[in-house]
Structure 1
Amino acid sequence: MERSVDVVVVGAGISGLVAARDLVHAGLEVLVLESRDRVGGRILNEKLPGGEPIEVGGEWVGPGQHRIHALIEELGLQTYPTHTAGRNIAEIGETRSQYTGKVPKMNPLVLADIGQIQWRLDRMARQVAAADPWDGARAEELDGQTFATWLRQAAYTASGYSFFRTITEVVFAAEPEDFSALWAAFYIGGAGGLDPLISFAGGAQQDRIVGGSQRIALALAEQLDERILLNAAVTDIDWSEQGVRVVAGGTTVRAQRAVIAMPPPLTGRIRFAPGLPGDREQLVQRMASGRVIKVNVAYEKPFWRASGLSGLANSDRRLVSTVMDNTPLDSSTGVLVGFVDGKDADTCARMSFDERRASVISDLVGYFGPAAQNYIEYIERDWAAEEYSGGCYHSFTTPGTLTRFGHALRAPIGPLHWAGAETATTWVGAMDGAAESGQRAALEVVRKVSARASR
Structure 2
Amino acid sequence: MTELTKDVVVIGAGAAGLTAANELRKAGLSVAVLEARDRVGGRLWTDEIDGAMLELGGQWVSPDQHALIDTVAELGLETFSRYRDGDSVYIGPDGVTQRFTGEMFPVSPETERTIAEITERLDAMIAEIDPDRPWEHPRAVEWDTISWDAWLRAQTDDDEAVRNLAFATGSAMLTKPTHAFSLLQSLLMAASAGSYSHLVDADFILDKRVVGGLQQVPVLLAERLGDDVLLNQPVRTLAWSHEGVLAEADAVTVRARFAILALAPVLYPRISFVPPLPRLQHQMHQHISMGFVIKVHAVFDRPFWREQGLSGTAFSPYELCHEAYDNTNHGDERGTLVGFVSDRTADDLFRLSADERRARILESLSHYYGEAAKDPVVYYESDWGTEEWTRGAYAASFDLGGLHRYGADLRTPVGPIHLACSDMAGAGYQHVDGAIRQGRRAAAEILERTRS
* TM-score band, normalised by shorter chain: over 0.9
Displacement of 1:254 in angstroms is 0.7
Mapped contact 2:97–2:367 kept (Cα < 8 A): no
Mapped contact 1:171–1:198 kept (Cα < 8 A): no
Matching of residue 158 in structure 1 with residue 159 in structure 2: yes
Distance 2:272 2:200 in 1: 38
Mapped contact 2:132–2:426 kept (Cα < 8 A): no
Give the partner amino acid of 2:236: T
Query: 2:83 is matched with which residue?
Result: 83
Distance 2:399 2:291 in 1: 12
Query: 1:182 is matched with which residue?
Result: 184
Displacement of 1:42 in angstroms is 0.5
Displacement of 1:156 in angstroms is 3.6
Query: 1:321 is matched with which residue?
Result: 322
Mapped contact 1:169–1:175 kept (Cα < 8 A): yes
Displacement of 1:123 in angstroms is 1.9
Deviations 1:228-248 (A, max 9, x none): 111111121111111001111
Displacement of 1:367 in angstroms is 1.6
- List 4+ stretches of structure 1 deviating above 6 A: none
Give the partner amino acid of 1:111: E
Mapped contact 2:131–2:192 kept (Cα < 8 A): no
Q: Secondary structure at the match of 2:143?
A: helix
Displacement of 1:299 in angstroms is 0.4
Pairwise mapping of residues 10-409 of structure 1 onto structure 2 (< 5 A)? 10-47=11-48, 49=50, 51=51, 53-94=53-94, 95-129=96-130, 132-167=133-168, 168-201=170-203, 203-409=204-410
Give the partner amino acid of 1:82: R
Matching of residue 411 in structure 1 with residue 422 in structure 2: no
Mapped contact 1:18–1:435 kept (Cα < 8 A): yes
Q: Secondary structure at the match of 1:268?
A: helix
Displacement of 1:357 in angstroms is 0.9
Pairwise mapping of residues 425-440 of structure 1 onto structure 2 (< 5 A)? 425-440=426-441
Distance 1:389 1:121 in 2: 31
Mapped contact 1:93–1:162 kept (Cα < 8 A): no
Give the partner amino acid of 1:85: D
If the length of structure 1 is used for normalisation, what is the TM-score? 0.96
If the length of structure 2 is used for normalisation, what is the TM-score? 0.97
Distance 2:238 2:429 in 1: 26
Mapped contact 1:52–1:328 kept (Cα < 8 A): no
Distance 1:232 1:135 in 2: 39
Superposition RMSD in Å: 1.4
Deviations 1:87-136 (A, max 9, x none): 11111222532101111211010001111121122222222226611121
Q: Secondary structure at the match of 1:245?
A: strand
Give the partner amino acid of 1:61: V
Deviations 1:411-439 (A, max 9, x none): 11110100000221202011100100000
Distance 1:52 1:102 in 2: 31
Structure 1 pair 437–131 and aligned structure 2 pair: CA distance change class (3 A): closer
Distance 2:411 2:338 in 1: 34
Deviations 1:235-287 (A, max 9, x none): 21111111001111232111000010111111122211111122221111100
Greater mean alpha carbon deviation, residues 18-27 or residues 182-191:
182-191
Pairwise mapping of residues 2-17 of structure 1 onto structure 2 (< 5 A)? 2-17=3-18
Q: Secondary structure at the match of 2:426?
A: coil
Distance 2:427 2:156 in 1: 27
Displacement of 1:36 in angstroms is 0.5
Give the partner amino acid of 2:243: Q
Mapped contact 1:92–1:162 kept (Cα < 8 A): no
Q: Secondary structure at the match of 1:46?
A: strand
Deviations 1:21-80 (A, max 9, x none): 10110111100011100001001112255x452211100001111100000001000100
Structure 1 pair 131–222 and aligned structure 2 pair: CA distance change class (3 A): closer
Distance 1:438 1:338 in 2: 30
Give the partner amino acid of 2:77: L
**Count of residue pairs brought into register by the alignment:** 449
Mapped contact 1:174–1:291 kept (Cα < 8 A): yes
Distance 2:200 2:436 in 1: 20
Distance 1:224 1:130 in 2: 32
Distance 2:347 2:418 in 1: 33
Structure 1 pair 67–131 and aligned structure 2 pair: CA distance change class (3 A): closer
Distance 2:376 2:269 in 1: 41
Distance 1:394 1:339 in 2: 15
Deviations 1:140-182 (A, max 9, x none): 1011121111111123411101112332201222221121211
Distance 2:212 2:251 in 1: 35
Distance 1:156 1:218 in 2: 49
Distance 2:3 2:87 in 1: 59
- Unaligned ranges ≥5, structure 1: none
Mapped contact 2:132–2:425 kept (Cα < 8 A): no
Distance 2:30 2:179 in 1: 45
Displacement of 1:369 in angstroms is 1.1
Q: Secondary structure at the match of 2:124?
A: helix
Structure 1 pair 330–48 and aligned structure 2 pair: CA distance change class (3 A): farther
- Unaligned ranges ≥5, structure 2: none
Distance 1:113 1:299 in 2: 38
